[in-house]
Structure 1
Amino acid sequence: MRHSSLRTLALSAVFIAGSFSLSVQAHDAEYSQKNLNEQSVLAATWMQASGEFKALSYQAFNLAKMQFDTFSDSYTGSKKIAVVVDADEAVIDNSAYQTWLIDKDFGYSSKTWAKWMDASEAKAMPGAKDFLNYVANNGGEVFYVTNRKIVGLEGTRKNLIELGFPYVDDTHLMLRTSTSNKEPRREIIAEHHDIALFIGDNLNDFSSDFRVETIEESHAAVEKNKDLFGTKFIVLPNPSYGDWEGKVYKGNWGASPAEKSQMRKDVLNTWEPKN
């Protein structure tokens, strides 16, 4: 009798475990990329509808102008002065591409991104045009160090020119070729220029110190460079995407939509009320 009961319990446990596994698999199958894309609605709405987004962008470029003037006024070197900027979400706004993905059952892809680049429809970040032209009119050069791949060169060039940005030529427009690491391109610029400041929305736009794999390492790198933010490094707001997201996934960009959703929640610091 005892053995029979144990067998029944064992079979029940197997059944429950199997049912749980099937339930998890069913949930994963039901939670689609469309569901995951829905999580970007609030960030995209903030970028396109809030005054705060515009205010932060203007604030960044006002600060950049002050720092450029400070650098230029005290400069005694013999090289040319340069400002190095990222493109996407630093001087141009691609939120229209992000919002297009909402209600679609697919995510970012190089194929659809290439179409977006070819369309040349990104808007200027508030304050970017005035600041970059101020640099150009006051003895500085502007370099666009972007990880847009070379396939997007013509569309990117057209977009920047139509927006009225300066220095949009083969020397100053530096797209990604063999590596996403921007350090080699920054080093090329530094050979003949002293860089007054860097502008970007991603920590990797500023220094190789930020090419790390974990959230903890990223925070440590920020602490190490904290005195440079607002002086040498000017950060633009981008809550929609970035290298930070890969750190949340621990580098597993191939995770399912359900897994990505859970990993996003797992890193949150959540308050619980006391009874």
Structure 2
Amino acid sequence: MVSLDADEAIFDNSLDQLENEYLGLGYVAERWAAWETRGAAKEVPGAIDFINHVLDSGGKIAVITNGDAALEEAARGNLVRLGMRDDRRRVCILGRRVLDTQTGNPDEWQRYGYKNDKDRRRRLISEGNAVGCWSKDLDGSARASWNRPHQFVLGIGDNVLDLPKTTQADARSNGTPTLVFGKDYFLIPNPLYGSWQGNAP
């Protein structure tokens, strides 16, 4: 199982950033939703080939994004438009829901020790309880595939929060000793925005 971030790891949203800069705007949620729905993002070079290689090799992909859960189908449509082979049994896309956030689910955050908004979704997938993975299942095959435990063997993202149970402060201090860059996790440089700063040599 490979965990992938979406924006700036699969989708190149630099055109949206350029449009916002031209209009003198920062991040605006309504504009972002319209951008996602518009389907104008390009591919981060090699991302779709990599996804299809994982699928062709019998692997599975979990796209865990902090985009709104209401945009999951738009994200899937954009992936297919860019050339991803669509197979709901092996590609799950999970956006952020209120229950994923500390504000919306403080008891669970404390119980499981979540440190970022993606930790809950990673846990649900690993336990086989990520209902969103089969929410559009028409014949039961997606549910049969995802409704069982999974182990993440690789993570790819552009931000420190794409690492499990990690914060920016953790990355600055002692990092994540259980994860090895170049083996367990790959970081895609993000020239647009984000949070990443490790220990300086």
TM-score by length of 1: 0.53
Matched, 1:237 2:194: no
> What residue number does 2:180 align with?
228
Q: SS state of the match for residue 208, structure 1?
A: coil
The 1:90–1:221 alpha-carbon spacing in structure 2 relative to 1, beyond 3 Å, is: farther
Aligned letter for 1:203?
A: V
Aligned letter for 2:40?
A: E
> Is the 2:156–2:185 Cα contact (8 Å) retained in structure 1?
yes
Alpha-carbon distance in 2 for matches of 1:236, 1:166 = 22
Q: SS state of the match for residue 26, structure 2?
A: coil
Structure 1: tracts of 5 or more residues without a match: 1-81, 246-275
Structure 2: tracts of 5 or more residues without a match: 102-116, 128-148
> What residue number does 1:194 align with?
151
> Is the 2:70–2:95 Cα contact (8 Å) retained in structure 1?
no
- Pairs within 5 Å for 1:13-162: 82-162=1-81
> Is the 1:87–1:146 Cα contact (8 Å) retained in structure 2?
yes
Alpha-carbon distance in 2 for matches of 1:105, 1:111 = 15
> What residue number does 2:133 align with?
none
In the alignment of these two chains, the number of paired residues is 159
Q: Which entry has the higher C-alpha Rg, 1 or 2?
A: 1
TM-score by length of 2: 0.71
> Is the 1:86–1:144 Cα contact (8 Å) retained in structure 2?
yes
Matched, 1:172 2:92: yes
Alpha-carbon distance in 1 for matches of 2:58, 2:126 = 16
Shift of 1:156: 1.4
Alpha-carbon distance in 1 for matches of 2:87, 2:11 = 14
Shift of 1:232: 0.4
Q: SS state of the match for residue 165, structure 1?
A: coil
Alpha-carbon distance in 2 for matches of 1:194, 1:227 = 14
Alpha-carbon distance in 2 for matches of 1:153, 1:228 = 30
Q: Deviations over 1:208-261 (max 9, x none)?
A: 122x4x5xx431143x4386111101100102111459xxxxxxxxxxxxxxxx
> What residue number does 1:185 align with?
121
Q: Deviations over 1:88-144 (max 9, x none)?
A: 001111111111122323211101101101101111111111111111111210111
Q: Which has the higher helix share?
A: 1
